C-alpha cells in the first residue's frame, strides 16, 4: 500500500516539475545558488557532492561552478555497475569528461579518484518530493538511502545532507518507509526547510 502511494505521488510531483519553463528553471537555479552560498554551512564546507539534474530537477550547476571557482573540492555521483547498490562519488572539475549512465544521467567517465560518503562536509541530494520535516521521496531506486543509511542511527554524523528542490515538490506528508534517510535541510529557490523548524 505504501509503495503504491509513493508511486502515485512520484508521478504527480514529477509532472509538476516538468511543467516549469526553461526561464523558470534558470531563475530557480540562480536564486538557489544565491541562497545556498550565503549560508555558513556552505561557506565552511571544503568537500561537497553535487548531482547532474534530469527530468525537471532543480539544476545545481550555477552552484557547482561557484564552488569550483572558490577552490572547493567537488564530486559527482556515479553508479559503478549493475551489481552495485551504492553510489560512488568521483572528483569533478572543468576538465572532467562526462558520459551518460544507464538512466541517462551524466557522470564522470573515469571514476577512479573517488571519495567516501563519510568524507564530505556537504552532499546536495536530488529528490522528487519532500515534506516540511525534510523527509525525501526519491526516484525509487534507493541509492541515496542505502549509501547514507548510517545517518539513520545518528543524524549528527557528517556529511550534512541537503535536498535541492522546486517549491512545487513540497507535499503535506510523505508515506514513509523504515529505510528513508531524513535530510538535514531542503532548499528551494525561495526558502530553507529544516526538520527542527517544522
The per-residue pLDDT for range 132-177, each reduced to its tens digit, is 999 999 988 889 999 999 998 888 889 999 999 999 999 988 888 8
Torsion over CA: 10, 12, 15, 19 (sign): negative
Tell me the backbone φ, ψ of residue 9, rounded to 5 degrees.
-65, -40
Closest CA to 169 of 123, 125, 127, 124: 127
What value does the mean pLDDT of the chain take? 91
Closest CA to 115 of 144, 141, 89: 89
DSSP 176: -
Residue 1: pLDDT band with limits 50, 70, 90: low
Q: For 39-53, what is the mean pLDDT?
A: 97
Does domain 2-197 bear CATH number 3.40.228.10?
no
Q: For 39-47, what is the mean pLDDT?
A: 97
Give the distance from CA 166 to its chain's centroid.
Answer: 12
Instruction: Give the contacts of 36 (CB within 8 A, at least 6 positions apart).
Output: 42, 63, 162, 187
What's the farthest any 2 CA atoms get from each other in the chain? Answer: 47
Whole-structure pTM value = 0.93
Q: For 46-74, what is the mean pLDDT?
A: 97
Is residue 163 within 8 A of residue 183, CB to CB? The reply is yes
Helix axes 22-37, 61-69, angle to 10 degrees: 40
Please state the domain extents for the chain: 2-197
Q: For 90-110, what is the mean pLDDT?
A: 89
Q: Specify the pairing of strand 129-130 against strand 136-137.
A: antiparallel
Helix and strand numbers, DSSP H then E, in the chain: 6, 12
Amino acid at each position: 500500500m505504501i509503495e503504491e502511494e509513493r508511486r502515485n505521488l512520484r508521478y504527480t510531483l514529477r509532472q509538476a516539475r516538468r511543467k516549469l519553463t526553461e526561464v523558470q528553471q534558470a531563475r530557480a537555479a540562480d536564486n538557489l545558488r544565491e541562497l545556498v552560498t550565503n549560508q555558513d554551512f556552505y561557506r565552511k564546507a571544503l568537500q561537497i557532492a553535487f548531482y547532474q539534474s534530469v527530468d525537471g530537477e532543480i539544476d545545481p550547476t550555477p552552484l557547482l561552478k561557484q564552488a569550483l571557482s572558490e577552490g572547493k573540492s567537488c564530486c559527482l555521483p556515479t553508479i559503478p555497475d549493475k551489481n552495485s547498490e551504492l553510489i560512488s562519488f568521483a572528483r569533478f572539475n572543468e576538465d572532467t569528461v562526462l558520459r551518460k549512465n544507464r538512466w541517462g544521467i551524466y557522470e564522470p567517465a573515469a571514476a577512479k579518484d573517488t571519495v567516501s560518503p563519510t568524507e564530505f562536509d556537504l552532499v546536495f541530494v536530488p529528490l522528487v518530493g519532500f515534506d516540511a520535516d525534510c523527509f525525501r521521496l526519491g526516484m525509487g531506486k534507493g541509492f541515496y538511502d542505502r549509501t547514507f543509511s548510517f545517518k539513520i542511527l545518528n543524524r549528527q554524523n557528517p556529511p550534512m545532507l541537503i535536498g535541492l528542490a522546486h517549491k512545487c515538490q513540497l507535499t503535506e506528508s510523505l508515506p514513509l518507509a523504515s529505510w528513508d534517510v531524513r535530510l538535514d535541510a531542503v532548499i528551494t529557490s525561495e526558502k530553507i526547510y529544516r526538520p527542527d523548524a517544522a
